[in-house]
Structure 1
Amino acid sequence: MRTQVAIIGSGPSGLLLGQLLSNAGIDNIILDRVDRDYILGRIRAGVLEVGAVQMLGKAGAGERMHEEGLIHDGFDLSFSGRRHRIHLKDLTGTSVMVYGQTELTRDLMDHREATGGLTIYNAEAVTPHDFDGVRPYVTYKKDGVTHRVDCDFIAGCDGYHGVCRASVQDKGIQSFEKVYPFGWLGILADVPPVHHELIYANHARGFALCSQRSHTRSRYYVQVPLTDKVEQWSDEAFWDELRRRVPDDVAQALVTGPSIEKSIAPLRSFVAEPLRFGALFLVGDAGHIVPPTGAKGLNLAASDVHYLFEGLREHYGEESTAGIDAYSGRALKRIWKAERFSWSMTMLLHRFPADGEFGQKVQEAELDYLSSSHAAQTAMAENYVGLPY
């Protein structure tokens, strides 16, 4: 089998890249070790920057998002017994879109199928070969038979634990990482959101977030120690703890119900450098992880896809390697800005007992300054809606 670009991983970044390439007449194949239902069963973030929204539209898969997605012109910060709204639209002239990653992935899958794109699911032992040579190829097993896909380039869109990053561990890759001393206990419930926009809460008991996926489905989080187990938390205990951490008017308006998903996610920051190894490119979570506080994970994957697609389009359309040669540097420049923002939001909103009373007073002063400074709010809003590609 022969293709121009072999894409490993059929999450949002792989699907988005594949669709953009197909639209541009560049042949591609997507390989994934799991099946479609498994991928759609994963619950992920749902706040999209304007750039990610535009990318989905460019791929031709944004129609349902624009019909069902929720446009948010701002969000609330809750601290010291008060709430302050960050007016994204007023401060930056633009907004964010709340649309679940599961739905976005479904839209891309359906559009790829409708437009004749090839995705091979349940592909076992997917392995990239000779990507630092002149004839890159990928092998995989399907129904007990080994297959080979010859290609020009390999896009590693298979996540942090995928084979692509593992394949370059001995090729000069450098990793940067910060692990935070807590996690997010999150639940998904079919109840109406407590507020029409997100509420980020800084509280003496720990961070909390009120978010949503639709007008009838809500997503809530509370900060918990890494030693906690999800089995320790009943739905009732979660709702009680959430009420303690949000303002009284929010607690009173909260509609509760049985969870349809409950999990604890550890928080960490991670970046791999570089993102290109010959004909192999790392994209999305394969190259970087951000804590969810700044809502940047999926959005960074979209910007990676933008840089890589433009480079590949230039390569095939103009016979120039300038774009693909610049991919790693361009992507990393934006990645580190998003890492900085996600780190700053995490440090601002969570409780860090090890920092003591001094650290807590500094955090409170920062929140107070933010609420009274137009310049500080503008900087936060610019980063939240997404820096330009």
Structure 2
Amino acid sequence: MKTQVGIIGAGPAGLLVARILQLNGIEAVVLERRTRQYVLDRVRAGVLESGTVETLRTYGMGARLDREGIPMRSMQLCWDRQKADVSLDDGTGRHLTTYGQQKIVEDLITQRERDGLPIIFEAAVDRLEDIEGETPRIHYTHEGEQKVIECQFIAGCDGYHGVSRRHIPGSDEHVFLTEYPFAWLGILAQAAPLAARRGFAHSTRGLAVASARSATVGRLYLQVEPDADPNAMSDQEIWDELDLRLDDGTDARLNRGPIIERSVARLRGYVCEKMRHGRLAIAGDAAHIVPPSGGKGLNLAVGDARIMAEAIRRLLKSNDTGLLDTYSEMCLRRIWPTVHWACSMCEAFHIFPGQTSFDTRMQYQMLNHWGNTEIGQQRLRKAQLGLPYEI
């Protein structure tokens, strides 16, 4: 098979690159090792920056988002049985929007299939070849057969465990990684989220998060041990624990309902600073992972996709390598400040092994700074709304 761009990974980054290239008249084939149903069912973050929303609208992916997205104009912080509501209004009209990542993926897949463009599911990429030449090749296995795609560029959007990063020479020497000693138990529940009960809570029992996925479905999290069994707690035990950790000194309690999905995710911070070599570039989780505190992973992936797609367009349409040569540098200008903020949030809200009462008081001081001081609120607001896109 021959195409102009081979895209590895049918997550938000890969699918958005494919969509942008399509609208610029560039052919692409998307390879995904998982099944179509697995990709559509995979639940991830759902907090979108204004820049992400505008990007999706620009490339024709805003219709359902505009119907179902929930504006998020403030952020609640809870600690030591008190609460602060921080406005996210910076005077520009920007705000966050709650819209599940799996819906974005579904929108992009549906549109691509409607346009008759190829997504090959259950395609296991084995190796990449000749990425320093003008016709790199992707070797993969599909339906028991060894196959090859010859292209002019490879977009590696295949996540932390994917093959793309491993084909960038010396990439391990440019990796920065921290792994946190806890995980998040995430649930989806058929229970109407309460406006007075949405946000991040610090508790001596561990972090809790309450957010909305729709008017009738809640997305909630509990800090748990790294090897926790997602089915170890009953529904009632989970709801009781959430109410304990979200206690802000009032009588408010969460609406309860059936828990329809559970998962446990380890937390890590990771950045690979070498994001391109020859005719291969990586984006999204292949290049960086942030702790879910702050909901920044998807937004970073969109920033990568915008720059990557434009760099590919200039290369293939005009033989201009200028943007491609600065791809890593430009992406990292958004990545590192965003990773720093997400890790700061992580360190302020979680209980760490061996944590002392002094450590807890220091966390209270940081949360009070963000929640109750003008300069702290400005810092939180700016970080949550996100940095502007350069491309």
Q: Quick check: TM above 0.5?
A: yes
4+ residue runs over 6 A deviation: none
Cα distance per residue 1:36-86 (max 9 Å; x no partner)? 111011111100111111121122111100111101111111112221111
Give the equivalent residue in structure 1 for 2:99.
Answer: 99
Cα 1:134–1:86 shift into 2, 3 Å: same
Alpha-carbon shift at residue 286 of structure 1 (Å) = 0.6
Distance 2:250 2:373 in 1: 25
Cα 1:186–1:179 shift into 2, 3 Å: same
Task: Answer with 360-369 or 249-258: which moved more.
Answer: 249-258
Distance 2:253 2:285 in 1: 36
Alpha-carbon shift at residue 92 of structure 1 (Å) = 5.7
Give the equivalent residue in structure 2 for 1:7.
Answer: 7
Structure with greater helix percent: 1
Are 1:30 and 2:30 an aligned pair?
yes
Give the equivalent residue in structure 2 for 1:143.
Answer: 143
Unaligned regions of 5+ residues in structure 1, if any?
A: none
Are 1:245 and 2:245 an aligned pair?
yes
Alpha-carbon shift at residue 252 of structure 1 (Å) = 3.8
Alpha-carbon shift at residue 170 of structure 1 (Å) = 5.1
Distance 2:301 2:177 in 1: 18
Give the equivalent residue in structure 2 for 1:371.
Answer: 371
Alpha-carbon shift at residue 221 of structure 1 (Å) = 0.8
Distance 1:342 1:327 in 2: 23
C-alpha contact 1:91 1:378 (8 A) present in aligned 2:
no
C-alpha contact 1:208 1:220 (8 A) present in aligned 2:
yes
Task: Answer with 50-59 or 154-163: which moved more.
Answer: 50-59
Task: Answer with 329-338 or 163-172: which moved more.
Answer: 163-172
Percent identical: 39
C-alpha contact 1:194 1:250 (8 A) present in aligned 2:
no
Normalising by structure 2, we get a TM-score of 0.94
Give the equivalent residue in structure 2 for 1:81.
Answer: 81
Cα 1:70–1:298 shift into 2, 3 Å: same
Cα distance per residue 1:148-185 (max 9 Å; x no partner)? 21111100011111111233365664211111111111
Cα distance per residue 1:248-282 (max 9 Å; x no partner)? 67764411122111122111101112000111111
Are 1:269 and 2:274 an aligned pair?
no
C-alpha contact 1:243 1:251 (8 A) present in aligned 2:
no
Q: What amino acid is aligned across from residue 46 of structure 2 in structure 1?
A: G
SS at match of 1:177: strand
**How does 1:100-139 map onto structure 2 within 5 Å?**
100-139=100-139
Give the equivalent residue in structure 1 for 2:42.
Answer: 42
Give the equivalent residue in structure 2 for 1:156.
Answer: 156
C-alpha contact 2:207 2:349 (8 A) present in aligned 1:
yes
**Backbone CA RMSD of aligned residues:** 1.9
Distance 1:169 1:254 in 2: 50
Alpha-carbon shift at residue 133 of structure 1 (Å) = 3.2
Are 1:345 and 2:341 an aligned pair?
no
Cα distance per residue 1:80-134 (max 9 Å; x no partner)? 2221111002466410110011111100011111223211112234432111234
SS at match of 2:293: helix
Cα 1:139–1:5 shift into 2, 3 Å: same
SS at match of 1:298: helix
Are 1:282 and 2:282 an aligned pair?
yes
C-alpha contact 2:76 2:198 (8 A) present in aligned 1:
yes
Alpha-carbon shift at residue 354 of structure 1 (Å) = 2.6
* Count of residues in correspondence between the two structures: 389
Alpha-carbon shift at residue 191 of structure 1 (Å) = 1.1
Q: What amino acid is aligned across from residue 137 of structure 1 in structure 2?
A: R
Cα distance per residue 1:192-224 (max 9 Å; x no partner)? 112277311112211110011100110111112
SS at match of 2:195: coil
Cα 1:169–1:6 shift into 2, 3 Å: same
C-alpha contact 2:187 2:260 (8 A) present in aligned 1:
yes
C-alpha contact 1:244 1:251 (8 A) present in aligned 2:
no
Task: Answer with 133-142 or 22-31: which moved more.
Answer: 133-142
Distance 1:110 1:269 in 2: 32
Give the equivalent residue in structure 1 for 2:356.
Answer: 356
Q: What amino acid is aligned across from residue 48 of structure 1 in structure 2?
A: L
Give the equivalent residue in structure 2 for 1:193.
Answer: 193
C-alpha contact 1:91 1:381 (8 A) present in aligned 2:
no
Normalising by structure 1, we get a TM-score of 0.95
Distance 2:110 2:250 in 1: 38
Task: Answer with 222-231 or 29-38: which moved more.
Answer: 222-231
SS at match of 2:326: helix
Distance 1:250 1:277 in 2: 55
Distance 1:9 1:59 in 2: 19
SS at match of 1:293: coil
